[in-house]
Amino acid sequence: GGFRSRQLSTMLDQLQWITLAGKPDSDRLRVVAEGECSSEETARKLADLLNGVLTLAGAGLDNAKTRRQLDPALREAYLALLKGADISKIDRGDTKSVRLAFEITSAFLESARRSSTGLPEAAPAKPAPGNTTKAKKGHT
């Protein structure tokens, strides 16, 4: 399983550097991934490819089958992440960069946690077998 793209792999092979950074900001984490190359054409193609991936991901989340199968809160969290994502090209003279920036919110993490455990907000604790106490007649 998982996502594989020969085109993306080829683009990433043309990068001189890939930098990944995160900055906590109250209840969210701002994540920035930046790739640097020497060719304007490579930077343009990579930016176009990443924009295409965001578009396809959004379309996939709007798919009727996905709407039925994915927890609504998690789907909304993914959509918010995609909507807030920004792809930009930076010209630094000799080098060109493509930057992908997005925010991971506490709401996103909470939705993902609930979805991965398959549990609602809080599941009531069950007593261990044999350790249950029964109320005696006339006592509460």
Strand order in the sheet with 28-37: 17-25, 28-37, 96-105, 86-91
Model pLDDT for residues 39-58, shown as the tens digit of each residue: 999 999 999 999 999 999 99
Bridge partners of 37? Answer: 96
Model pLDDT for residues 71-124, shown as the tens digit of each residue: 999 999 999 999 999 999 999 999 999 999 999 999 898 888 888 776 554 444
Q: How far is CA 134 from the centre of its chain?
A: 48
Can you give the residue ranges of every domain in the chain? 6-117
Q: What is the pLDDT of residue 2?
A: 62
Residue of 36 and 132 predicted with greater confidence: 36
Rounded to whole angstroms, the Cα distance separating 33 from 22 reads 9
Model pLDDT for residues 3-38, shown as the tens digit of each residue: 677 888 888 899 999 999 999 999 999 999 999 999
Model pLDDT for residues 57-77, shown as the tens digit of each residue: 999 999 999 999 999 999 999
- pTM for the model stands at 0.74
What is the average pLDDT score of the chain? 85
CATH of domain 6-117: 3.10.28
Q: How far is CA 114 from the centre of its chain?
A: 15
